[in-house]
Chain A
Amino acid sequence: MAEPQDPMQDDQPLLVAEHLGKNYGRLTACRDVSFALYPGEVLAVVGESGSGKSTLLQLLSAQLAPSAGRVSYRMRDGVLRDLARLGEAERRFLFRTDWGYVHQDAAQGLRMAVSAGANVGERLMAVGWNHYGRIRDAASSWLERVEIDTARIDDAPRTYSGGMRQRLQIARNLVTEPRLVFMDEPTGGLDVSVQARLLDLMRNLVSELGLAAIVVTHDLAVARLLSHRVMVMKGGRVIETGLTDQVLDDPREPYTQLLVSSILPA
């Protein structure tokens, strides 16, 4: 049987950042960041606290307007578009269909007072699904995929543990089969054993779905486990970038060497 032809050619970048910068008054939170992300690629952004990781992620996901440079994204029709030129409706549509955003604080990414089923179903309803039974089936199958007992489908995330909340956030984002997921410290604040399980799950989902992801973390173990490529940030600049194993096993920059040898506080 012939494979269906993918309209997206994998040799074309999915997202392109060009000379991105962000100033807060005199403070430069992010400076001259350029890179391309390809479909299915996982990029980790590492660096110490205050190095500009979250700022960069917000710029890339068009939640923050850059002071300089631009971000382009290849839409599902194959056309590369400057995010700053998208209309608000288009941008918001992108955000709840083709993109996912996993927050460190689950309360920012979930509706804590509505049931898990509705949390997962919300994006489907937002794109016009109008059949309760089908929405519920989709929600329930996604809960299974992120290893949440489907008996908890009607419980609010308020009643969930930290690890469950993160997994629910992931299900809520993936239900529309996005091509790109942004994650800001997705394992932050979780117990080590809970972290390990979550990382394992994320790694499997990302490879099964062929997702591209940009993961901000100051935990190099997360970068090693999830990412193909790493960008090291310091003072708002990218000081080193390369394949994850290369950068972590054989860092060139003295700062990265310190980071890798855990001399710098994570």
Chain B
Amino acid sequence: MNAPAYNFAYLDEQTKRMIRRAILKAIAIPGYQVPFASREMPMPYGWGTGGVQVTAAILGPQDVLKVIDQGSDDTTNAISIRKFFGKTAGVATTTSTTDATVIQTRHRIPEAPLHAGQVLVYQVPIPEPLRFLEPRETETRRMHALGEYGLMHVKLYEDIARFGHIATSYAYPVKVNARYVMDPSPTPKFDNPKMDNCPALQLFGAGREKRIYAIPPHTDVVSLDFEDHPFTRYRFDAPCALCGAGDSYLDEIVTDDKGSRMFVCSDTDYCESRQLAGHRGSESAPPHKERAHG
């Protein structure tokens, strides 16, 4: 008999119970950062150990796992985490957004709409949205407790004063369930509207900072802004060069040493599914001007 030396999904049951309790509390208080006793994982912190622990705690044998990194299923990080759970939990893995029951992500929300029953697990480096202006943890906790969020607007004010518009384009702060201000992890602000009223459960794990937070299904998530500088989504103003999509978040890829560029979907599953369905792009697009989308 070849029993593995570790428990199902690597973590012992005691630890998983502790993490599940933190997750349940996080779901009960949408957007609130719940402290948890983060464990060492057999990978460096930069690899998203917070997300990995959350995934380990919620995974069951019937789950189908997808792991993305910057939208891609094929980076070293994504492949390693997928293999890790394939090996320690024996769960099925997939690259299909629609087929997955659990999706662990770094830096993106998939383009294909999520559905009820799915769980999206974010890897979070810095969970505290107020940290930038208020380094004292005791003070930021008090601000959350009392709902004192003027400081968030100070940050947006600084953006406009300096750049003429709200230049924050990643980790763009949101207010969850009209109560807690939350850092959505370094996803592009293009993805922010996908968090709002999402049918899937969204869980956020920060390993180094030992925090878990959540957005339950169908919760209001509002991006902060000013009346005269409203939140805008942003994507390069171009179709994907591979699949022709005009609605997806694009990565800019330099194709030769003469500086030729092309724009392709950052979500590889979305792009490949479209190509399989017969959609085509220009394959190499001329450089396009950047433009904000309302």
Q: Is A132 a contact of B148 with CB atoms below 8 Å?
A: no
- Judged by a CB distance under 8 angstroms, whether A131 is at the interface is yes
- Contact segment of B157-165, B183-191, B237-245, B262-270: B157-165
Q: How far is the CB of A78 from chain B (nearest CB, A)?
A: 25
- Contact segment of B33-41, B48-56, B222-230, B272-280: B222-230
Q: Is A92 a contact of B148 with CB atoms below 8 Å?
A: yes
> Cβ of B157: which chain A residues have Cβ within 8 Å of it?
115, 117-118, 121, 125, 132, 135-136
Chain B binding surface SS class? helix
> Cβ of A89: which chain B residues have Cβ within 8 Å of it?
146
A206 to B179, CA, bound (A): 38
Which positions 105-158 of chain A face chain B at CB distance < 8 Å? 111, 114-115, 117-118, 121-123, 125-127, 130-133, 135-136, 153-154
> Cβ of A3: which chain B residues have Cβ within 8 Å of it?
none
- Judged by a CB distance under 8 angstroms, whether A88 is at the interface is yes
Q: How far is the CB of B143 from chain A (nearest CB, A)?
A: 9
Chain B CB count within 10 A is highest, among A122, A127, A153, A154, for A122
The residue of chain B having its C-beta at the shortest distance from the C-beta of A131 within the complex is B227
Q: Is B153 a contact of A111 with CB atoms below 8 Å?
A: no
The residue of chain B having its C-beta at the shortest distance from the C-beta of A122 within the complex is B154
Q: Is B146 a contact of A127 with CB atoms below 8 Å?
A: no
A218 to B160, CA, bound (A): 42
Q: Is A117 a contact of B150 with CB atoms below 8 Å?
A: no
From the candidates B150, B154, B160, B228, name the one contacting A114 in the complex (CB within 8 A): B154
- Judged by a CB distance under 8 angstroms, whether B24 is at the interface is no
> Cβ of A135: which chain B residues have Cβ within 8 Å of it?
157
Query: How many residues from B make CB contacts under 8 Å with A?
Result: 17
A114 to B154, CA, bound (A): 8
Q: Is B154 a contact of A118 with CB atoms below 8 Å?
A: yes
A88 to B139, CA, bound (A): 13
Question: With A121-B157, A125-B157 as given contacts, are A131 and B150 in contact (CB-CB < 8 Å)?
Answer: no
A100 to B54, CA, bound (A): 45
From the candidates A111, A126, A132, name the one contacting B226 in the complex (CB within 8 A): A132
A123 to B148, CA, bound (A): 11
Question: With A125-B154, A130-B153 as given contacts, are A118 and B161 in contact (CB-CB < 8 Å)?
Answer: yes
> Cβ of B142: which chain A residues have Cβ within 8 Å of it?
88
Q: How far is the CB of B194 from chain A (nearest CB, A)?
A: 24
> Cβ of A132: which chain B residues have Cβ within 8 Å of it?
157, 160, 226-229
- Judged by a CB distance under 8 angstroms, whether B18 is at the interface is no
A37 to B128, CA, bound (A): 41
Q: How far is the CB of B222 from chain A (nearest CB, A)?
A: 12
> Cβ of A92: which chain B residues have Cβ within 8 Å of it?
146, 148
From the candidates B150, B161, B227, name the one contacting A115 in the complex (CB within 8 A): B161
Q: How far is the CB of B40 from chain A (nearest CB, A)?
A: 35
Question: With A89-B146, A133-B228 as given contacts, are A122 and B151 in contact (CB-CB < 8 Å)?
Answer: yes
- Judged by a CB distance under 8 angstroms, whether B133 is at the interface is yes
Q: Is A115 a contact of B146 with CB atoms below 8 Å?
A: no
From the candidates B146, B158, B229, name the one contacting A88 in the complex (CB within 8 A): B146
Chain A CB count within 10 A is highest, among B154, B162, B229, for B154
From the candidates B158, B226, B227, name the one contacting A118 in the complex (CB within 8 A): B158
Question: With A118-B158, A132-B228 as given contacts, are A127 and B150 in contact (CB-CB < 8 Å)?
Answer: yes
Question: With A117-B161, A127-B150, A135-B157 as given contacts, are A111 and B228 in contact (CB-CB < 8 Å)?
Answer: no
Q: Is A114 a contact of B158 with CB atoms below 8 Å?
A: yes
The residue of chain B having its C-beta at the shortest distance from the C-beta of A114 within the complex is B158
> Cβ of B227: which chain A residues have Cβ within 8 Å of it?
130-132
Q: Is B228 a contact of A126 with CB atoms below 8 Å?
A: no
Q: How far is the CB of A128 from chain B (nearest CB, A)?
A: 8
> Cβ of B162: which chain A residues have Cβ within 8 Å of it?
115, 154
The residue of chain A having its C-beta at the shortest distance from the C-beta of B160 within the complex is A132
Q: Give 1 or 0 for each of B142-181: 1 = CB within 8 Å of chain A CB.
A: 1000101011011001101110000000000000000000
Chain A CB count within 10 A is highest, among B151, B157, B227, B228, for B157
Q: How far is the CB of B160 from chain A (nearest CB, A)?
A: 5
> Cβ of B148: which chain A residues have Cβ within 8 Å of it?
92, 126
A121 to B162, CA, bound (A): 15
Given A123-B150, A131-B227, 9 additional A-B pairs, CB 8 A: A88-B142, A89-B146, A115-B158, A125-B153, A125-B154, A126-B148, A130-B153, A132-B227, A133-B228
15 contacts between A and B (CB under 8 A): A88-B146, A111-B154, A115-B161, A115-B162, A118-B154, A122-B151, A122-B154, A125-B151, A125-B154, A126-B148, A126-B150, A131-B228, A132-B160, A133-B228, A136-B161
